[in-house]
Structure 1
Amino acid sequence: MANVEKDRAAAGAFARLAELRPRHGALCAFATTLLSCMPVIVVLGGVPRYAALGDSFLLCLLLAAVASGAFLCARALRGAPRDGNRLARGAVVAYLAAALAFIVLLVAPDPWPLGAAGAGLVAGGALPAVLCAWARAVAAPMDRSLALCALVGGGAALAGWILALLPLPLLLPAFCVLVVAGTVPLLLIESEDSPDEADAPQAVPVACGKGALGRLLSVTWLPLLGLAAYVFMTGLVAHGAFGTMPATYLGSLPEAALVLLVCARWGRRPLLPWCYRVLVPLLAAVFVVLGAFPAGTFPQEASVTVLYGFYLVLAMIGCALFLAVTHSREVAPELTCSFATAVTAAAALLAQVLSAAMPGSDFSSWLPVVTGLFVAVLLLFLGRTAWDGLVTPQGGALGAEGAAGGEGVSAGCAPASAADGARVPARVADGVPAPKAVGAAGFGAVAAASPATPTAPEPSLRDTLEARCAEVSAARSLSPREAEVLVYLARGFTPAYIAKSLVLSISTVRTHVRNIYRKLGINKREELLHLIDEG
């Protein structure tokens, strides 16, 4: 039975991966030609004029991206009216024009650094809004977002490899075609009609003000740190250890396949804490072991590719987390995307400044240092959360826990609860509507009250639980998000676990818990179980 459950979970995961749309192909084209990314620098580095124009273009692009991201972030914090579609269309047109203008400057008879700087300012100023538009268009729950990032990352690596093999007369036209393919579809996509966003359950009112930024950081600080580390290191050694085709592309494809395998095999549990507790330390350990071999040997040289894969996995997790946060709509998408863009652009800008300030320096020795610093922060955080899980009482009424005030604990790696270690036969995927994904075997009170035998078919039990939860939600006018949280509560999961599963802050989950208890007219977990048991 266990093997059947595993096979069924894997089949379901691959079925969800098959839910690709043309917009996902356009996103892959956009990622392939994102002008601030290191693989693009490697591809365009062979163009004769790039040496004279590339640095000024990239520096101005990053400066403008930081300023524009900070402006949009401050605007969202002030609660300014949301006009995302109109802003996105203008930004897409500006970004497309600036990118094509830069390509034209690369083939112009005479170099024009001022024109390249102007194109960089326009492209960088438009970049946060363009990224926000893409996030709104493809936002999905965590498991699907991580799979999407793996597919896009692998596809972009493959496309970049093909571009790098093209002769110069074909390289730039093909690059321009991909730029158009990666931006024009955004003009045709109505974000509010996107199935992913339209189906996303509303969280407690979209947060604004200073509290919104704190709520966002409580969920995203660790993935954002990993994403910034990736951007910083790849920008710092863009023409060094990583600036080679084998390390850039051969390191991307296997890691993309690895992340897809993780999504298919272990997507039944909250993926974010699993990745940081298992996958990331495993990759770091592989790098340490391979790097310990003598210099000049194959394992030691392969450690560079493994290290790039390590940073690429951090980037995939970070991007997937921000897509999942955009999908949850706990905070405004403009705040989520502009803040992430500003931070990562600042990291890339710092790398660009250091490279310019120390020309000819070999920054490859920085790689183990930055990697060790990130792993140290990760281990300290995991150790603290593990200790909190040991000393925090697990008993008590859930109503009292839900009524407690919010805490600044990351939903990605919140303290483990007793429910985290429980074996749950039915799959509770990250962000997947729980009434359709919960099995009654993990729902103790209902299973005990049901006259089911050990050989009772699981689908009927799952349908029974879904019907009971749906009846209670409809009768008490619960919102879609509250209906999701209700099922997790009924199964005995704590707010920390729910926050990890739905990629929400714990304070938001507790607000939902208070609302659910108030609407149901109950105060204790036992009353909740009894209410669901009665249907």
Structure 2
Amino acid sequence: MGARQAGHRWAGFDMLSLLSLTAFFASMPFLLAPLNLLRPLLFQATAEPLLEPLSATPFLAAMALAAMFASLAMLFVCLLKTAYARLGRRLLIAAGGAYLVGMAFTCLACFASGVPSSLLVVAGAFVGAGGAVLCMAWARRVHLPDLRASLASLVALGAALFVLDALISLAGDAVRAIALLALAAAGTAGCLRGALAQSGAESRSTTSGANWWDVFGKLDLSLLGEGGSDFKSPWSRTLFFIVTPAVVFLLFVSGMNMHHTFYGDFPIEIAGGFVAVACAAVLLLAKSERAVVNAGYRMYLPIIAAVVFVVGDFAMIELRGLFLNVGVYVFCFVYGLLMCAMIITMMSRMESLKLPAACMLVIAACLIAQLSYANIDAGVLGAYRLNVLLFLLVVSVVLLIAMPSSRVWRIVIEGIDVSDGADAPAAETETDADAAKDDIVTLEARCAMVAESCGLTPREAEILRFLGRGYGSVYIADTLVIAESTVRSHVKSIYRKIDVSSREELISRIDEIGETVDKPIAPIG
């Protein structure tokens, strides 16, 4: 059942597209493992001697800046109006050509020593700008509205990437360069093949309403809590989406710089990635998507941190720092996989978020790559790198445990699956079933009373019944076979007519109006 569901979620991706996707990201230097394979080639080809192999190369700086500039430009267009943000054929072909030219020069530069840094800068700019647009094109094709399917797909993709990169890392420079170029060519061809075939349909169905900035505060956060109620306040969303990722980002960058300073010979990008992917796969055993999020953030990641602390204390002194370094890498990687799975799920549930989310992921990847491989002088703190790493790890764990999601935390502890009623407890008595039916009948009757008293249209009354049962816009749109933007428009009208501003207020108003209508009329006299 799970395999069939995952296959259905990848509708539009045939086997050739999946192989092309794997090839593309296995050679994309935005990611650390492919970038680590490219860096020896760049160091060997450059004419000007670098201070040390770990310093940021001109290629890396140019690539990161070009990718971030292209992503910020697309974000600006999305901010104006999402319908304007289209990836046309000419743009896709130009991006694919630029990416291939940049990668070809970069991979083949090792065969000609003494390449000027200016040419590496140009190659990096081509790779960055073209690769950013191709990443957006891949993101437009992904449709994974189920969190567990998103996480499973990322785990499978990560495992395939690390296998390919591990095999390439065993080859010499010449074979490595040719292999990376072949993967880049296959990935680009597959991306253009699928994106050009669907660009017309996608551009017509991009959005029919507000831009992405307008809807960001109304994300479908049902997978985080009961109706997303624990994430109503701006502070809770800021803590989850900004503060905690920023701390984990600092932790990861600090760990990578410490690794390159003391343990540069250990292939942490691939070896640590394998461990992280295996650890993330354990979360797929969770019953529901809410359990994945809450068990992952509030139980599993703290357990990983605790293992790093405890085992690190018993490790030999000469290996203690390396173990902590790998443990921090795994901790941050699993966290990143969870965040990416959530972002993919949210942008699949809301079409207008696909391009902005892809842009933000590209920007984050470029920042991580550039800062992780930069030789940052820690100054006085250099002698306390290990202490800083431990401090940031503790702060990250505290933030994860303190995440506002008390109701779902209780659900996870009790082991109750509330995914969508798909996996009800097996031992359900006849009395419980009758009570559930009575509740549904009562809810249907109350929704009908609310619809009549507030003057809702027939379609709005139909959608109100779904909202009262806790379903989100995506499910309603799929069930009624209408556009998601149409559902959101009806929901806004329902909220306005009933005079509420959130799902929780709507449920309360349904109960209040229902109780008022249900009250018997007092006899006169």
Regarding TM over 0.5, the answer is: yes
Deviations 1:334-353 (A, max 9, x none): 2222233334433544445x
3-state SS of paired residue (1:189): helix
Provide the residue aligned with 2:148 in structure 1: 143
Alignment match, 1:104: 108
State the match for 1:59 in structure 2.
Answer: 61
In structure 2, distance between residues paired with 1:480 and 1:130: 40
2:301 to 280, 286, 311: 280
Q: Describe how 1:11-160 pairs up with structure 2 within 5 A.
A: 12-13=1-2, 15-17=4-6, 21-22=14-15, 23-47=17-41, 49-50=43-44, 52=46, 55-79=57-81, 81-86=84-89, 87-141=91-145, 142-160=147-165
Aligned to 1:514: 495
Q: Which TM-score applies when normalising by structure 2?
A: 0.69
Q: 2:29, 2:40 → 1: CA distance?
A: 15
In structure 1, list runs of 5 or more residues that go unmatched.
1-11, 386-413, 429-433, 452-460, 491-506, 530-535
Cα displacement (A) at 1:145: 1.2
Deviation at 1:418? 9.2
Q: 1:303 to 1:296 in 2, by over 3 A?
A: same
For residue 310 of structure 1, report the CA deviation from its aligned partner.
1.3
Deviations 1:256-293 (A, max 9, x none): 12222211334453422331111211111111222323
Post-superposition offset of 1:117: 0.2
Superposed CA deviations along residues 296-328 of structure 1, whole A, max 9, x for unmatched, are 366664333322211211221222222122212
Q: CA deviation at 1:213?
A: 5.6
Give, in whole Å, the separation in 2 of the partners of 1:295 and 1:309: 20
Q: Which amino acid aligns with 1:372?
A: F
What does residue 313 of structure 1 align with? 334
CA distance in 1, matches of 2:272, 2:262: 12
Q: What is the number of residues matched between the two proteins?
A: 450
Q: Provide the rounded CA distance (Å) in 2 between the counterparts of 1:329 and 1:479.
A: 23
Q: Is the 8 A contact 1:132 1:337 kept in 2?
A: yes
Q: Deviation at 1:158?
A: 1.3
Change (3 A) 1:212 1:73: farther
For residues 295 and 260 of structure 1, the distance between their equivalents in structure 2, rounded to whole angstroms, comes to 29
Q: 1:186 aligns with which of 179, 188, 191?
A: 191
Contact conserved, 1:140 with 1:323, CA < 8 A, in 2? yes
Residue pair 1:281, 1:375 contacting (<8 A) in 2 also: no
Q: What is the aligned-residue identity percentage?
A: 17
2:459 aligned with 1:477:
yes
Query: Contact conserved, 2:28 with 2:35, CA < 8 A, in 1?
Result: no
Q: Does 1:448 align with 2:435?
A: yes
Question: Match of 1:36, SS?
Answer: coil
* Aligned twin of 2:257: 236
Amino acid of the structure 2 residue aligned with 1:59 = A
Retained in 2: the 8 A contact 1:28–1:156? yes
CA contact (8 A) 2:294 2:408 kept: no
Check 1:70–1:294 CA distance in 2 against 1; reply closer, same or farther (3 A cut): same
- Is the partner of 1:292 in helix, strand or coil? helix
* TM-aligned CA deviation for residue 36 of structure 1: 3.0
Report the counterpart of residue 228 of structure 2 in structure 1: none
SS at match of 2:153: helix
Contact 1:143 1:271 in 2 (8 A): yes
Q: CA deviation at 1:383?
A: 2.9
Q: Secondary structure at the match of 1:332?
A: helix
User: Which structure 2 residue ranges, 5 or more long, are not aligned?
Assistant: 48-55, 220-236, 452-456, 473-487, 501-505, 516-525
Kept in 2: contact 1:65–1:341 (CA 8 A): yes
Select 2:182's aligned residue among 167, 177, 182. 177
AA at the equivalent of 1:304: N
1:398-437 to structure 2, matched below 5 A, reads 414-416=405-407, 420=411, 428=419, 434=420
Distance 1:351 1:509 in 2: 47
1:164 to 145, 164, 169: 169
Distance 2:372 2:167 in 1: 27
Q: Which residue of 2 aligns with 1:488?
A: 470
In structure 2, relative to structure 1, the CA distance for the partners of 1:512 and 1:207 (3 Å cut) is farther
Contact kept in structure 1, 2:286 and 2:292, CA below 8 Å: no
SS across alignment from 1:488: coil
State the distance in 1 between where 2:323 and 2:468 align: 48
Which whole-Å CA distance do the structure 1 matches of 2:264 and 2:325 have between them?
A: 11
Distance 1:29 1:61, change over 3 A: same
Tell me what 1:290 maps to: 311
User: Given residue 193 of structure 2, which amino acid in structure 1 is its aligned partner?
Assistant: L
Q: TM-score, normalised by structure 1?
A: 0.67
Residue 64 of structure 1 aligns with an amino acid whose one-letter code is A
Do the aligned residues in 1 keep the contact of 2:61 with 2:370 (CA within 8 Å)?
yes
Taking a change above 3 Å as real, the CA distance of residues 88 and 63 of structure 1, as seen in their structure-2 partners, is same
Q: Is the 8 Å Cα contact of residues 35 and 41 (structure 1) preserved in structure 2?
A: yes
User: Greater shift after overlay, 436-445 or 121-130?
Assistant: 436-445
> Displacement, 1:17?
4.7
Alignment RMSD, CA only? 5.0
- Output one character per residue of 1:437-482: Cα deviation in whole Å (capped at 9) or x when no partner: 678969998641649xxxxxxxxx9xx9xx99xx9x9x95369998
Asked if 2 retains the 8 angstrom alpha-carbon contact of 1:30 and 1:179, the reply is yes
SS in 1 for 2:470: helix
**Matched residue of 1:166: which SS?**
coil
Given candidates 380, 383, 394, the residue that maps to 2:402 is 383
Maintained 8 Å contact 1:52/1:111: yes
Q: For the Cα contact (< 8 Å) 1:251–1:309, is it kept in 2?
A: yes
Q: Alpha carbons of 1:272 and 1:510: their partners in 2 closer, same or farther (altered >3 Å)?
A: farther
Question: What is the identity, as a one-letter code, of the residue corresponding to 2:20?
Answer: A
Check conservation: 1:33, 1:40, Cα contact below 8 A: yes
Equivalence for 1:373: 392
Distance in 2 between residues matched to 1:69 and 1:419, nearest whole Å: 40
Matches of 2:329 and 2:355, distance apart in 1: 30
CA distance in 2, matches of 1:380, 1:223: 6
One-letter identity of the residue aligned with 1:524: I
Tell me, what secondary structure is at the counterpart of 2:295? helix
